[in-house]
Amino acid sequence: MRFFIVLLLTVALAASAVLGESTPQRPLSSKLKDDTIVIDRNVFNTADTPFRPHNGTKPFTNWVGLTLDYSYIQPVFNLIMSTESIANGTLRTRGEAHITVITPPEFDRVLRPAGVTINELDDLATAGPQRNRLQKAKFGMECLGRVQVVTKPKNVFQQALQIILKEYEDLVEYRWDVFNLFVQKGGNPALFDPENFSPHITLGYRHRDIFEGDGVFKRKNACIRNIVVE
């Protein structure tokens, strides 16, 4: 009798383990609550995501960014696409998420002419006593932002949505280290301001992404919805 009971318990435990392994995980999602977008707080675990270098031989292919796990950002994109008052039409997405910390124009027009290399910038982001410092950088989320502009000469209506950031001192500190390297190499300090910086996470855009060069500013002025992290 005792053997029979033990056998039943063993079978039950084995079945439970198999069912547990085969049960799919609940897909990540975001929601809109009282006009506030709710995002999974694990989005901040960027230290678990590998740093991704961005370097190339063509213009606008060299830049530095903090890589995010897109599985926490995609639900936000899906949410805004299902909310007409936010998306205001169909948007494109790159299918990945990052925070640009050194922009392509900053590198091409300012840093590279002074002799700063993209490898040096990557080393500042990953090597030294603060190994993987950029992926460990702390930041907060201010709001959901939307910028719109009509670009010339074809009068094309452009739109982009992004998460506007706040409390990003670690990112500014990295930019100050880039500034110091730039000045050490003889760069004109008036050409690079470490604090002239509008970090954000691009969610989607209508035709192409738009930037300050197009006349838009992705800061608190662009907020259209609050964001909370849970």
Q: Model pTM? A: 0.86
What is the model's pLDDT at position 32? Answer: 72
What is the model's pLDDT at position 29? Answer: 64
User: Degrees (nearest 5) of the Cα angle 203, 71, 25?
Assistant: 145
What is the model's pLDDT at position 30? Answer: 74
What is the model's pLDDT at position 31? Answer: 72
pLDDT per residue as tens digits for the range 90-130: 899 999 999 999 999 999 999 999 999 999 999 999 987 77
Contact (CB, 8 A) for 127 and 120? no
Residue type, 153: P
Residue type, 92: R
Contact (CB, 8 A) for 76 and 163? yes
pLDDT per residue as tens digits for the range 79-94: 999 998 899 888 999 9
Instruction: Enumerate residue ranges in the chain where pLDDT < 50.
Output: 1-27
User: Degrees (nearest 5) of the Cα angle 204, 125, 214?
Assistant: 35
Closest CA to 52 of 43, 63, 60: 63
What is the model's pLDDT at position 10? Answer: 44
For residue 192, what are its two tokens?
């690079």
